[in-house]
Chains A and B, each alone.
Chain A
Amino acid sequence: NAGVTQTPKFQVLKTGQSMTLQCAQDMNHEYMSWYRQDPGMGLRLIHYSVGAGITDQGEVPNGYNVSRSTTEDFPLRLLSAAPSQTSVYFCASSYSPEGAGEKLFFGSGTQLSVL
């Protein structure tokens, strides 16, 4: 199994450009989420989804949009990139049987730089 696949691994944008970070999982997981990792701040939740068609905001949602049209995919869109969005982005997924105690499966991350 591929697990959680994120593309691209690296990206450089200019301020004001838009882009979509792709995330796909092949484990039939209901729950998916996006985190950003910044030095000295750990990982912070951007958006999450509990199933196809259902999304909600996390701690730092401003400047980001998400949608979940299928169980497998959960793309993260930056509508107008800003330097403050320079970060490493992680997509994660989990199964439901143990609910909140489930292990998160993470992608390998996307390093994004906004100039």
Chain B
Amino acid sequence: AQTVTQSQPEMSVQEAETVTLSCTYDTSESNYYLFWYKQPPSRQMILVIRQEAYKQQNATENRFSVNFQKAAKSFSLKISDSQLGDTAMYFCAFIPAYTGTASKLTFGTGTRLQVTL
């Protein structure tokens, strides 16, 4: 069974600063997908970024980028130029590619990020 670990329950960052959220996972699979989902106070789950394990290049989406270290089984999220709207719970998630459906994600326990003035 796969596991996803987020070791930082809470983090805080000042507006305009950069913050990195950690995620590690355990799997014996060679191809899989990793995701970061954001859950703001509205409770809506929003996809931030995704990475396929076979792709060497780290994914980026505007101010969001990942540091994917396959050998270390690490998948951290970097948020640059933090904004108040980034305040949310962030979940790391994993799924083996062989499942053929995104319905069976394994989530971490989440990191609550607070962006302050």
Contact between A100 and B101, CB atoms less than 8 A apart: yes
A108 at the interface (CB under 8 A from B): yes
Q: Is the interface of B mostly helix, strand, loop or mixed?
A: mixed
Rounded to whole angstroms, the CA-CA distance of A115 and B114 in the bound complex is 32
Rounded to whole angstroms, the CA-CA distance of A101 and B95 in the bound complex is 8
Rounded to whole angstroms, the CA-CA distance of A48 and B95 in the bound complex is 14
Return B60 CB to nearest CB of chain A, in Å: 16
Rounded to whole angstroms, the CA-CA distance of A64 and B102 in the bound complex is 21
Contact between A88 and B43, CB atoms less than 8 A apart: yes
Residues of A within 8 A of B109 (CB): 40-42
Rounded to whole angstroms, the CA-CA distance of A43 and B42 in the bound complex is 16
Comparing B14-22, B45-53, B75-83, the segment that makes contact with chain A is: B45-53
Q: Which of B95-109 contact A (CB under 8 A)?
A: 95-109
Contact between A99 and B105, CB atoms less than 8 A apart: no
* A residues with CB within 8 A of B: 30-33, 35, 40-45, 48-50, 58, 88, 90, 92, 94, 96, 98-104, 106, 108-109
* B residues with CB within 8 A of A: 4, 6, 9, 32-33, 37, 42-45, 47, 50, 52, 91, 95-110
6 contacts between A and B (CB under 8 A): A33-B104, A94-B102, A96-B101, A100-B98, A100-B101, A104-B45
